[in-house]
């Protein structure tokens, strides 16, 4: 079971890091939607950082949760049109 948890933690960390690299804000930054996109991206990055902190402190459950929440912020932003993301592949559900 612990091996499964660590495998998922690794996979979700990579998924979030890759999704952050791929997501490109669509609305102009100086608009309310641009601000919303920036906030979603900031939350995703913060959760990536938090997950890495939990990982360093041997807390894989919270690391996995943080990576999952971070990806959810990006995925939700992509679904409502805040980000231009790949429409095929494994990164997003759009």
The pLDDT of residue 91: 82
Distances in Å between the Cα of 25 and the Cα atoms of 9, 34, 50, 72, 79 are 26, 7, 22, 16, 12
Q: For residue range 15-40, what is the model confidence (pLDDT) as tens digits? A: 999 999 999 999 999 999 999 999 99
pTM, two decimals, is 0.90
Indicate if the pLDDT at residue 90 is higher than 80: no
Q: Check: CB of residue 47 under 8 Å from CB of residue 27.
A: no
Mean pLDDT of the chain: 93
In the chain the domains, ranked by start, together with CATH numbers, are 2-84 (1.20.1270.90)
């Amino acid at each position: 079971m612990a091996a499964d948890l660590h495998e998922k933690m690794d996979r979700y960390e990579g998924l979030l890091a890759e999704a952050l690299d791929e997501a490109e804000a669509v609305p102009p930054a100086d608009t309310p939607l641009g601000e919303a996109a920036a906030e979603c991206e900031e939350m995703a990055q913060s959760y990536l950082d938090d997950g890495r902190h939990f990982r360093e402190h041997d807390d894989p459950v919270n690391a996995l949760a943080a990576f999952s929440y971070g990806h959810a912020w990006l995925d939700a932003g992509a679904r409502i049109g805040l980000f231009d993301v790949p429409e095929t592949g494994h990164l997003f559900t759009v």
